[in-house]
Copies of this chain bind each other. A is one copy, B any other.
């Protein structure tokens, strides 16, 4: 047992999976789940992700040794302000947000006296909500940890054990590096996938009379646009928090696509093939293939 009582604020896909995994491995004794909707709260109780539920973050945080914030990053400051007066001395507060600079800033402002450990489990699904929660969601996935100034080595080591206990691989990273990296590996792909899906829809509209594209695509388009099915509201927050890095990543991507388009325009098929090979090689290196 690493923590007696954990409060999960926002007990959806990530918060619910974290609770299920930690409870299944005996790393946390009692979980208080906090959700805004009654459906979420009942769902969390039904699948055993929470022992008690509430819609009040401050009430959930009271007496908790671990407070886990799994709300959209845009809601973090408000939630932090609400739980601040209720925190038990010595409690660890951590989050599961997809961006870290904004979350660390919000913690410095609203939780100046608390031990705040930024976190980002790089795992997820296009399915949202506690009904999609799974105890094995984190197995084999990286879990970024960004310690705030009041996190001692002992406090970090304890939470690190919990991360390893649920099967994830902890990686220490500062907020700036995290946000620059994820802009390229997560936020750019989302923006590209959404634009691609929308563009295919646009082409379809242009040919409405003659083309029903719905029978004319394969697994390639389905895979390439899969993440575009994710919740737009959550991604809005992520893109707002990391807009500067995302715009840099978009610019790098546009350079690549424009080079390919220019080679097509010039009929320079050797250059086209080189650019395709660059993509293939870069993917292989990333995926360690």
Chain A residues at the B interface, C-beta cutoff of 8 Å? 122-125, 141-142, 144, 169, 171, 173, 177-178, 180-186, 188-204, 206-207, 210-211, 213-230, 232-233, 235-236, 239-240, 243, 246-250, 252-257, 260-261, 264-265, 267, 269, 272-273, 275-289
6 cross-chain pairs, A with B, having the tightest CB-CB distances, nearest first: A201-B282, A194-B279, A185-B217, A184-B203, A232-B276, A199-B253
CB distance from A146 to the nearest CB of B (A): 13
Please judge, given known A-B contacts A142-B215, A191-B260, A192-B192, whether A203 and B249 are in contact too, CB under 8 Å.
yes
Chain B residue numbers with a CB within 8 Å of A273 are 232-233, 235-236
Known: A185-B221, A201-B281. 12 other contacts (CB 8 A): A125-B219, A142-B215, A171-B215, A189-B220, A194-B279, A195-B253, A199-B249, A199-B252, A200-B286, A235-B273, A243-B264, A250-B260
**Of the candidates B141, B177, B218, B229, which one forms a contact with A283 in the assembled complex, judged by CB atoms under 8 Å apart?**
B229
A211 close to B249 (CB less than 8 A): no
Chain B residue numbers with a CB within 8 Å of A182 are 216
**Of the candidates B141, B193, B216, B269, which one forms a contact with A218 in the assembled complex, judged by CB atoms under 8 Å apart?**
B141
**Of the candidates B124, B199, B247, B282, which one forms a contact with A184 in the assembled complex, judged by CB atoms under 8 Å apart?**
B199
Cα–Cα, bound, A190→B281 (Å): 14
Chain B residue numbers with a CB within 8 Å of A257 are 191-192, 195, 250, 254
**Of the candidates B141, B260, B265, which one forms a contact with A194 in the assembled complex, judged by CB atoms under 8 Å apart?**
B260
Closest B residue by C-beta to A173: B216
Chain B residue numbers with a CB within 8 Å of A199 are 184, 188, 249, 252-253, 255-256
Cα–Cα, bound, A186→B181 (Å): 28
A190 close to B220 (CB less than 8 A): yes
**Of the candidates B202, B236, B252, B269, which one forms a contact with A202 in the assembled complex, judged by CB atoms under 8 Å apart?**
B252
B279 close to A228 (CB less than 8 A): yes
B198 close to A279 (CB less than 8 A): yes
CB distance from A225 to the nearest CB of B (A): 5
Closest B residue by C-beta to A210: B177
Chain B residue numbers with a CB within 8 Å of A189 are 196, 220-221, 224-225
Cα–Cα, bound, A174→B228 (Å): 31
Chain B residue numbers with a CB within 8 Å of A283 are 197, 201, 225, 228-229
CB distance from A256 to the nearest CB of B (A): 4
Closest B residue by C-beta to A186: B220
**Of the candidates B173, B195, B252, which one forms a contact with A275 in the assembled complex, judged by CB atoms under 8 Å apart?**
B195
